[in-house]
Structure 1
């Protein structure tokens, strides 16, 4: 092992490793250590000797570390400091959300579960209700944070406030209605788009009036996160006990992070913040939070930020460290901000009289003055702007809220000889078009917007019509005007949609792009298919429903330049590679050792070396560093045992070949990405 002390890069993803030997600490020059998707349950203390680590990826193991902390792969010290903290106790806390259409009985179900109470005159929920529920699971008391919120269509834009990982979802249906009326698949896709790893229990309510009639097997095959289907009648108290038993089982079997161990000092800070909330305090300054941390000996800025990051994802508080408008405040009570937003977007006068244009001074009429003092109004607006619910108009202190502007489409003119581009969605989400309107505010042409569309204009003389069709689950884009800048304007528009799509990771792969020929917009052609034809060297093809061949490159060039297409394809391939590299490897590639010799030096152990012990070979796609020596060791068999055995194999290979100066292709570590959306 002494011969490998200058090792700088080690990739042992997906090798079923069950332990790391203490000798790992001797690799003191290691900068990148990938151990994702193994079977590690503990770490040796010697790993803390790797003080030069830039990346430590431990995701996908059985380590008692919360996923929010494991995600900090670019902060190895943060991960290791958390793991080796001396005094810890289990979190024993989970978030449960009741989702579904309005009036299906979510609030009644919550009250039956928590209070065994039923009110036949229960009003439809117009705000979010958050309650604590204590359950005994495995001789431990588990705190369940139960979130019940309105299911009206207008609430779509607020989903991003609370649909998160670390959650159990109860999707409540009205058994009297069909799948379409319950928008069953809409809700399943919404859950998946925000939280693709959380378990879902589908509950058909009101079975005293009608049995639940849905395709259970088909839905479970399509949405594997569905645990089971249950039936209830809140009115007759039927099926409630079975729901409780199922919730307990799912929390125990599917939400292992409930038992994550947290440092005792973190618990103390969390407890003090919750005490402030119980005392009626809805928010506090970040400086007050850091003061509490210091009292609990949490003095380092990184640890303070990590703790508040975790509390944010648990739903205990809201804090947005990455936004200078918001990071100075902690919202102790998430209901405080979400209910303010609900009151704003449900205000009748704002919708009917003001047509979705909010004046800042009108908030004194909409919001309770005692709970929402004037000095916090701008914070509420900043929160809405962050989540792309509104934008400030040219006029001073007036904000447009696209979700509540008039539905009537204004006259937009003729759109002949336009570039026609389309996005086809598996499910229609209102917030996609409303967020786009917010993001494209600088291009809006003479206030030409309505609830499902907008007209944009650039300085070069191009205009664009963007409109959504709920029934077709499609967004249509048309760009006309200056022929020289049509494509670039379309590219700007597409870039904004791509940002929105990336914020819905569970939905993004199902979104399809199409282009339409001007002579017949009703027969769109798959953009991906055209790209595949071009890559296959096909010059022409006959689209379905057409009587004349179309030139592939000419058609594509009309929408996007060849260089731009190549760049987009390269970015797509890079995303796919990073996804393969950073997520669990499910297959093994052929056993091979790729080598290329350069020169005849004898400086192994002096120059930096990289080891990639990985079932999947990426050597054909990665850039080569002339000054880097890398060993790319690919294997079809599962490596069993410890790193000691692995290193022995590698040393044996080096000894056998007897060539100390070797140049191989090296995997470049991926850099953290920045997103304009959270």
Structure 2
């Protein structure tokens, strides 16, 4: 009884009244309709003496005021029934009766037209509920804690709900029983996650590093960043915006030069807050060209985020506001706002089945003068509020998953070569020592990678079913430290090509015996080995 066919709901013109629609349904399809007083005929339609020990209910919406209820028993369609929308749960409970032991409830609300965003009060606390399927709806909340207290509950199917974050999307794709297994483990051993990734994105020399420096400064000010101090690859740091709060940002300042475009995408994650930084255009020369470049940058990053992490949260920040008049800053901010909102509108119309980016303040930009500290305090408070509102903040992470993370960190820290990666087989052995095996290994690997504490580029489901000796290098490697990947890439890709060539050509001793290598040459060789592992 785990397989239920989706009901095909007929569609009618938008000019029918509810009464006309009910009459049309009765004439053309023979479906019953009415109020709770008519339920006797529905119950009597079951074979005489048949005991309802396993009942499947499929609720599909046909009109804003009515739902179609399909009832099956033992895989056989028994009855279709139309009833008012607000009464369907009471109807289901009454039909099930006292003898029913197992109930499969499937809710299918069409994507077009009116859609519910949550189940009726009492659904998740119905003691007979065994399987709940809300796949492909528009649910915002499912009361998970209530479901886990049900005596017979064993499976939750909830993929395809764009606004549903509990259970996490990367967990729900594992299937009904896998989802429930994760939720039970999190409820039993879970520890709250207080870390949120904060990623700064934008063009090179737009002021991203200055914004991060000012935010982390007690004086709200940044030092002036020299051209030679521009970010190489990604600069990583941790930051607590308020010592009285448990919130901690893991800051990843992504370099903005075009050479880093591909490598930056390695680090984009759903569980993150994105800060898109741009600088005001100064002077009147090439005004149209600068606007075109800025528009291209904004649209490129919005497209990239939407492709890699649909629905990500983003805030805009404008720097160097002291370089032009306040009126000019306002004019440019309004222009950027129009660009952002036009892009968001295009995203919504292009794909109604993907959650669009969540842009703070309707596309308004926070105005900063990082050298004088203007606007920094307000931005810090806004980032804190946004982080605390994210569904990932304070979510429960199963204890064994965190134990696995700590264990692999400890093991790789002991590596004399400084390698911060593990071969898959060794990683699997460590996971088993932490009681993370089977389906939980796949869940833990996906979750820890999404949190940004490890990085795995393979497909967990595939690698677990393949012989170890048939795995590719990336499939067979778990990178334990994102910082390690950043350092490896710094030795391979830089916006200053001459500096990169000089770095490696300076040390002809790179091919000598290890004992004769200088410190910098040894580091150069380590970088090359790291790069070979990544490439």
Question: What interval of TM-score do these two structures reach, taking the shorter chain for normalisation?
Answer: 0.5 to 0.7
Q: Summarize the Cα distance change of 1:320–1:181 in structure 2 as closer, same or farther, 3 Å threshold.
A: closer
Secondary structure of the residue that 1:257 maps to in structure 2?
A: coil
In the alignment, the residues of structure 2 paired with residue 78 and residue 370 of structure 1 have an alpha-carbon distance, to the nearest angstrom, of 46
Secondary structure of the residue that 2:199 maps to in structure 1?
A: strand
Q: Summarize the Cα distance change of 1:34–1:368 in structure 2 as closer, same or farther, 3 Å threshold.
A: farther
Partner of 2:313: 199
1:270 has 2:405 as partner: yes
**Counterpart contact for 1:316–1:334, Cα < 8 Å:** yes
Shift of 1:336: 2.1
Partner of 2:379: 243
Which stretches in structure 1 are left out of the alignment for 5+ residues? 354-360, 385-678
Q: Summarize the Cα distance change of 1:273–1:3 in structure 2 as closer, same or farther, 3 Å threshold.
A: closer
In the alignment, the residues of structure 2 paired with residue 277 and residue 230 of structure 1 have an alpha-carbon distance, to the nearest angstrom, of 41
Q: Among residues 219, 225, 240, which one is paired with 1:134 in the alignment?
A: 240
Secondary structure of the residue that 2:240 maps to in structure 1?
A: strand
Q: Summarize the Cα distance change of 1:11–1:350 in structure 2 as closer, same or farther, 3 Å threshold.
A: farther
Shift of 1:92: 1.7
**Counterpart contact for 1:41–1:63, Cα < 8 Å:** no
1:162 has 2:257 as partner: no
Shift of 1:173: 0.7
What does residue range 132-531 of structure 1 map to in structure 2 within 5 Å?
A: 132-136=238-242, 140-176=245-281, 178-182=290-294, 183-210=297-324, 211=326, 212=329, 213-214=332-333, 215-222=335-342, 223=344, 225-228=358-361, 229-253=365-389, 255-274=390-409, 282-298=420-436, 300-322=437-459, 324-346=472-494, 348=497, 370=522, 380-381=531-532, 383-384=534-535
**Counterpart contact for 1:325–1:379, Cα < 8 Å:** no
Shift of 1:290: 3.6
In proportion to residue count, which structure has more helix? 2
What does residue range 627-646 of structure 1 map to in structure 2 within 5 Å?
A: none
Secondary structure of the residue that 1:258 maps to in structure 2?
A: coil
**Counterpart contact for 1:58–1:70, Cα < 8 Å:** no
Secondary structure of the residue that 2:491 maps to in structure 1?
A: helix
Partner of 1:113: 215
Q: Summarize the Cα distance change of 1:302–1:350 in structure 2 as closer, same or farther, 3 Å threshold.
A: farther
In the alignment, the residues of structure 1 paired with residue 377 and residue 134 of structure 2 have an alpha-carbon distance, to the nearest angstrom, of 48
In the alignment, the residues of structure 2 paired with residue 76 and residue 368 of structure 1 have an alpha-carbon distance, to the nearest angstrom, of 53
Partner of 2:171: 69
1:125 has 2:231 as partner: yes
In the alignment, the residues of structure 2 paired with residue 238 and residue 159 of structure 1 have an alpha-carbon distance, to the nearest angstrom, of 29
The CA RMSD over aligned residues, in Å, is: 3.8
**Counterpart contact for 2:157–2:172, Cα < 8 Å:** no
In the alignment, the residues of structure 2 paired with residue 310 and residue 265 of structure 1 have an alpha-carbon distance, to the nearest angstrom, of 12
In the alignment, the residues of structure 1 paired with residue 483 and residue 300 of structure 2 have an alpha-carbon distance, to the nearest angstrom, of 25
Secondary structure of the residue that 2:448 maps to in structure 1?
A: helix
Shift of 1:100: 0.7
| TM-score with structure 1 setting the length | 0.47
**Counterpart contact for 2:488–2:530, Cα < 8 Å:** no
**Counterpart contact for 1:135–1:141, Cα < 8 Å:** no
Shift of 1:310: 0.8
Shift of 1:55: 5.9
Shift of 1:46: 7.6
In the alignment, the residues of structure 2 paired with residue 58 and residue 81 of structure 1 have an alpha-carbon distance, to the nearest angstrom, of 19
* 1:337-373 Cα shifts (integer Å, max 9, x gaps): 23433432337379999xxxxxxx99x99x9764576
Partner of 1:13: 108
Shift of 1:168: 0.8
| TM-score with structure 2 setting the length | 0.59
Partner of 2:181: 81
Q: Summarize the Cα distance change of 1:93–1:71 in structure 2 as closer, same or farther, 3 Å threshold.
A: farther
Shift of 1:145: 1.1
In the alignment, the residues of structure 2 paired with residue 369 and residue 327 of structure 1 have an alpha-carbon distance, to the nearest angstrom, of 30
Secondary structure of the residue that 1:200 maps to in structure 2?
A: strand
* 1:587-621 Cα shifts (integer Å, max 9, x gaps): xxxxxxxxxxxxxxxxxxxxxxxxxxxxxxxxxxx
* 1:40-87 Cα shifts (integer Å, max 9, x gaps): 212534878577x69664845767433321232xx3332111111212
Secondary structure of the residue that 2:108 maps to in structure 1?
A: coil
In the comparison of the two structures, how many residue pairs are matched?
364
Q: Summarize the Cα distance change of 1:181–1:169 in structure 2 as closer, same or farther, 3 Å threshold.
A: same
**Counterpart contact for 2:312–2:358, Cα < 8 Å:** yes
In the alignment, the residues of structure 1 paired with residue 500 and residue 522 of structure 2 have an alpha-carbon distance, to the nearest angstrom, of 24
**Counterpart contact for 2:142–2:166, Cα < 8 Å:** no
**Counterpart contact for 2:413–2:420, Cα < 8 Å:** no
* 1:286-327 Cα shifts (integer Å, max 9, x gaps): 4444444334332x2321221121111111111134363223
Range with greater deviation from structure 2 (142-151 or 325-334): 325-334
Q: Summarize the Cα distance change of 1:325–1:3 in structure 2 as closer, same or farther, 3 Å threshold.
A: closer
Q: Summarize the Cα distance change of 1:92–1:274 in structure 2 as closer, same or farther, 3 Å threshold.
A: farther
**Counterpart contact for 1:66–1:260, Cα < 8 Å:** no
* 1:170-221 Cα shifts (integer Å, max 9, x gaps): 1111123554343333333333332231111111111121253132542353
In the alignment, the residues of structure 2 paired with residue 64 and residue 317 of structure 1 have an alpha-carbon distance, to the nearest angstrom, of 22
Q: Summarize the Cα distance change of 1:293–1:370 in structure 2 as closer, same or farther, 3 Å threshold.
A: farther
Which stretches in structure 2 are left out of the alignment for 5+ residues? 1-51, 56-72, 77-103, 110-115, 283-289, 345-356, 460-470, 503-509
Secondary structure of the residue that 1:165 maps to in structure 2?
A: coil
In the alignment, the residues of structure 1 paired with residue 322 and residue 529 of structure 2 have an alpha-carbon distance, to the nearest angstrom, of 47
